[in-house]
Chains A and B, each alone.
Chain A
Amino acid sequence: MSAQDLDGGSDAEADGSGEMPKPHTIRLELADEPGQLLAALAPISDNGGNLLSIFHERGNLTPRGHIPVEVDLECPPDRFERIVDALRDAGVNVIRAGAEHFGEEVMVILVGDTVDSDLSDTLHRIESSADATLQDLSLSAREGTDEASSARLRLAVRSGRVDETLAVVRDLAAEKGLHVVEPLAEGSQ
């Protein structure tokens, strides 16, 4: 048996901590003046971030009379700090940054002979279609046997979206002819 633990490892393609973009959320405060939003968004794209959505809570003022804005973006994890710094350098008030919304953790095991051959596609599609981000990944294959290989995925999932995420994983697995071993959420203590 060989269990390859890629947790925080160096294989940037497979483990998601290198080049693969991950979703992040940033909460900003903007003064209610024209041009403010555009000015705030420039540091994001200038530093390799890809905007996913902007939620401009116009009717809602912060205690200081500013407008709260929530920005969802995607960027390689190592660029995220740089983006936040660039925003602050540009004078934007960043209230909260990071993946705080991914409040739940889900573990699934994918099983099948092809599980390792197109793993990066599988991971990319889980991250792009579910409210989830990969936290760590392990692969296991038993050499010299005809047992199928498996991959263990630990996903950080947006709070309240565990069922949707599992549904995405299930559909994707069905499409690729893989089996999913899902966690039992409740009653397992």
Chain B
Amino acid sequence: MSLRLAVLGAGAVGGSVLDLAGDYGHDVVAFADSSSSAVDPAGLDPSAVHDRKERDGVVGDADPESVFDADYDVLVEATPTTLGDAEPGFSHVERALADDRHVVLANKGPVAERYADLRALEAESEGTVQFEAAVGGAIPILSTISDLGAPHVTAARGVLNGTANFILSRMAAEGLDYEHVLAEAQDLGVAEADPTFDVDGIDAALKFVILANVLSDGETEYALDDAEVEGIRNVPGTALDLAAEDGRTVRLIGEATADGVRVAPRLIPQGSALSVTGTQNIVQLETKHAGQLNISGRGAGGPETATAVLSDVSRLE
């Protein structure tokens, strides 16, 4: 069945959803950035929209609000992740649910910072909220947990920030210092100009907070403030040298367990499942009856994240 998508956010993720929706048999009927929108009930032409954005800095002539007046089935929320009140993402979700539409989030803010509020709105609506893309890009982590059943998964741990992992694994492999590798990562587009969210562990913490919310199945609500978070800025090359001498390495590991959420640089054996290199991500699920499950892959990127968004959309059919 073909679904009509309204996409908020015209960046790496929103833009890729626009490009790939057709591949999944869906139409993007409305598309907005921060100052404009394009609406076409027959489905938008991706290249025309991209050209307009590139040429004029807008996606169309309508204002962003017009998206909500379009006839759509699923709102795809891909505006920037914000902390605290998680706005404007949260209000976007609220509006779509009030109109009994489904919501698929790439934005981590509403599910990490206001999980209970979000679930309460969902309960009042005919629409549902899905957010596979918010945790680990293309890696099907939440759908795996949902298949296993959250009560059968006792913990999740792993590496969910490609930037921090790239930096630590390069430092370890090349004997280079943090500043040097950070600059290299920025040149390669692996790290942003302001890398704070990634290197201070906030991005990873948001993802493990979301996992904790999913695993606790409504019993306890977690937000970023409940997480113990330490980034990688204080891991010097000397620590990686000492770890390597003993067959170990250091990775920024997140944990969502019965004890809560913690993100910190940790010592792990070299060559162990969690010691992924480069921008690779991995999550290890601890199950009650079936031991550990490891799922790894690309945790970020436009097409990768759009793939998770469109898998969520397809589940609604």
Residues of A within 8 A of B (CB): 1, 3, 5, 107-109, 111, 138, 140-142, 145, 147-152, 154, 179, 181-184, 186-189
* B83 on the A face (CB < 8 A): no
B 244-281 to A, binary, CB cutoff 8 A, 1 in contact else 0:
01101010010000000000111111001110000000
Judge whether B242 and A140 touch: CB under 8 Å. yes
Not counting A147-B177, A149-B236, A187-B155, a sample of 6 additional A-B residue pairs whose C-beta atoms are within 8 angstroms of each other reads A5-B245, A109-B243, A138-B242, A140-B239, A182-B266, A187-B274
Judge whether B268 and A188 touch: CB under 8 Å. yes
Contact among B236, B237, B274 with A184 in the assembled complex (CB-CB below 8 Å): B274
Judge whether B239 and A111 touch: CB under 8 Å. yes
Q: Which 10 A-B pairs have the closest CB atoms?
A: A152-B242, A150-B238, A140-B238, A184-B266, A150-B239, A147-B236, A179-B234, A183-B267, A188-B268, A148-B236
State A108–B177 Cα separation when bound (angstroms).
20
Residues of A contacting B157 in the complex (Cβ-Cβ under 8 angstroms): 184, 186-187
Residues of B within 8 A of A (CB): 155, 157, 175, 177-178, 234-239, 241-243, 245-246, 248, 250, 253, 264-269, 272-274, 284, 286, 292
Residues of B contacting A138 in the complex (Cβ-Cβ under 8 angstroms): 242, 245-246
> Quick one: given A1-B175, A183-B266, A184-B274, are A142 and B238 in contact (CB under 8 Å)?
yes
Judge whether A107 and B236 touch: CB under 8 Å. no
**Can you give 9 A-B contacts (C-beta < 8 A)?**
A1-B238, A111-B238, A140-B238, A149-B238, A150-B242, A187-B157, A187-B284, A187-B292, A188-B274
State A111–B232 Cα separation when bound (angstroms).
12
Judge whether B267 and A184 touch: CB under 8 Å. yes
Interface of A is mostly: strand
* Listed residue (B157, B175, B234) with the most chain A CB atoms within 10 angstroms of its CB: B234
Judge whether B238 and A187 touch: CB under 8 Å. no
* Listed residue (A109, A140, A151, A154) with the most chain B CB atoms within 10 angstroms of its CB: A109
* Listed residue (B264, B267, B274) with the most chain A CB atoms within 10 angstroms of its CB: B267
Nearest chain A CB to B34's CB is how many angstroms away?
39
Residues of B contacting A111 in the complex (Cβ-Cβ under 8 angstroms): 234-236, 238-239
Judge whether B269 and A188 touch: CB under 8 Å. yes
Residues of B contacting A186 in the complex (Cβ-Cβ under 8 angstroms): 157, 286
Contact among A151, A152, A181 with B245 in the assembled complex (CB-CB below 8 Å): A152
Judge whether A3 and B245 touch: CB under 8 Å. yes
Interface of B is mostly: mixed
Judge whether B286 and A145 touch: CB under 8 Å. no
Judge whether B235 and A181 touch: CB under 8 Å. yes
Nearest chain B CB to A53's CB is how many angstroms away?
31
Judge whether A187 and B286 touch: CB under 8 Å. yes
Residues of A contacting B246 in the complex (Cβ-Cβ under 8 angstroms): 107, 138, 152, 154
State A136–B239 Cα separation when bound (angstroms).
16
State A138–B157 Cα separation when bound (angstroms).
29
Residues of A contacting B265 in the complex (Cβ-Cβ under 8 angstroms): 181
Contact among B237, B239, B284 with A181 in the assembled complex (CB-CB below 8 Å): B239
* Listed residue (A1, A141, A188) with the most chain B CB atoms within 10 angstroms of its CB: A188
State A151–B238 Cα separation when bound (angstroms).
8
Chain B residue nearest to A179 in the complex (CB)? B234
Residues of B contacting A145 in the complex (Cβ-Cβ under 8 angstroms): 177, 237
Nearest chain B CB to A187's CB is how many angstroms away?
5
Residues of B contacting A1 in the complex (Cβ-Cβ under 8 angstroms): 175, 237-238, 241
Nearest chain B CB to A111's CB is how many angstroms away?
5
Residues of B contacting A154 in the complex (Cβ-Cβ under 8 angstroms): 246
Residues of A contacting B292 in the complex (Cβ-Cβ under 8 angstroms): 187
State A59–B239 Cα separation when bound (angstroms).
50
Judge whether A184 and B253 touch: CB under 8 Å. yes
Chain B residue nearest to A189 in the complex (CB)? B272
Residues of B contacting A149 in the complex (Cβ-Cβ under 8 angstroms): 236, 238
Nearest chain A CB to B233's CB is how many angstroms away?
9
State A151–B242 Cα separation when bound (angstroms).
8
Chain A residue nearest to B253 in the complex (CB)? A184
State A1–B286 Cα separation when bound (angstroms).
39
Chain A residue nearest to B178 in the complex (CB)? A147
State A72–B264 Cα separation when bound (angstroms).
36
State A183–B241 Cα separation when bound (angstroms).
15
Residues of A contacting B253 in the complex (Cβ-Cβ under 8 angstroms): 184
Nearest chain B CB to A165's CB is how many angstroms away?
14
State A142–B248 Cα separation when bound (angstroms).
19
Chain B residue nearest to A146 in the complex (CB)? B177
Residues of A contacting B235 in the complex (Cβ-Cβ under 8 angstroms): 111, 179, 181
Chain A residue nearest to B156 in the complex (CB)? A187
